[in-house]
Amino acid sequence: MEATCRQALRVGLRAVAFTEHADFAFRVHADMRPLDVQAYLLEIERCRALFPALRIVSGVELGEPHRHAMETAEVLRAGPLDRVLGSVHCFSWRGREIDASQLKEVPAAETPAAVRAYLAEALALVTSPQPFAALAHLDYYKRYWPHRELTYDEGEFEAELRAILRELSRRGSALEVNTTRGAPAERGLCPGARVLGWWAEEGGRAISFGSDAHEPAFIAAGFREAAQLAEAAGFRANDDPAGHWLR
């Protein structure tokens, strides 16, 4: 976290949020460990003292919180965690739980059906009473879509994506533009320009930016392009360097 703060200042950021993963799908990821909120918050405080020029925001990325309500409440109680993201990584496919990264193992012909299962899970999340301020990487599965065998056309999933965006707008949450550590836009920009346009049309007011850096070197990677797309969709930065872009 200290190295990330240093890199954030180096690339000209005025604020950074550490939305640490809190995932509970231990059956899918056997090597995963629970988030130690107290240790995390101590590190946040240590970094705030080291870098007074940088606004350091605490946070968490809740994985499928609607499926793990008790564990989620426990993490949030251990807070304070300022920026709470809701996300879907895992979903049911053919009777078992898989992570979207396992789409690579699904035959290309079945990928669209698996993506619909993912999007149904995301709809269940946004219609749940779970408290989160922004929806992370709406089309996370794009990272693992078999782009070489199958062209990804957002239009094929327009109804599903718009239904999620409509609910997200109704609950007053923000949509995250996740740049996947600066990966090529085809699979890394989650979501892309067309979906951002739908977000505006469905009444979406706010956008947050996430680089999903996981490593200091990738903080804010891909933000320049993401900011251009957000501006093109009518969203603007404001005086708060840690604030959402609004329209």
Which positions lie near Zn ion, rule CB under 5 A?
Answer: 87
Between 166 and 181, CB nearer to Zn ion? 181
Q: Where are the alpha helices (DSSP H) in 64-130?
A: 69-77, 111-126
Between 54 and 62, CB nearer to Zn ion? 62
User: Is the Cα torsion angle 151, 219, 103, 71 positive or negative in sign?
Assistant: negative
Omega of the bond leading into 241 within 30 degrees of 0 (cis): no
Q: What are phi and psi of 189, to 5 degrees?
A: -90, 100
- In the three-class reduction of DSSP (H, G, I as helix; E, B as strand; rest coil), residue 60 is classed as strand
**Measured between alpha carbons, how far is residue 236 from residues 29, 69, 122, 227, 230 in Å?**
38, 34, 26, 9, 7
Between 137 and 244, CB nearer to Zn ion? 137
Between 87 and 169, CB nearer to Zn ion? 87
Between 62 and 76, CB nearer to Zn ion? 62
Residue nearest to Zn ion (CB): 87
Using the CB atoms, write b or e for 26-44: b if 16+ within 10 Å. eebbeeeeebebeebbebb
Tell the smallest beta-carbon distance from residue 29 to Zn ion (Å): 12
Tell the smallest beta-carbon distance from residue 140 to Zn ion (Å): 6
Tell the smallest beta-carbon distance from residue 33 to Zn ion (Å): 16
Tell the smallest beta-carbon distance from residue 7 to Zn ion (Å): 20
> Pick from 90, 60, 195, 203: which is nearest to 138 by CA?
195
Tell the smallest beta-carbon distance from residue 100 to Zn ion (Å): 9
Burial of 105 (0-12, 13-18, 19+ CB in 10 A): exposed
Tell the smallest beta-carbon distance from residue 223 to Zn ion (Å): 17
Between 63 and 204, CB nearer to Zn ion? 63
User: Two tokens at 216?
Assistant: 């200091």
Between 87 and 111, CB nearer to Zn ion? 87
Give first-to-last CA distance, the chain, whole Å: 31
Number of helices and strands (H, E) in the chain?
8, 9
Tell the smallest beta-carbon distance from residue 121 to Zn ion (Å): 13
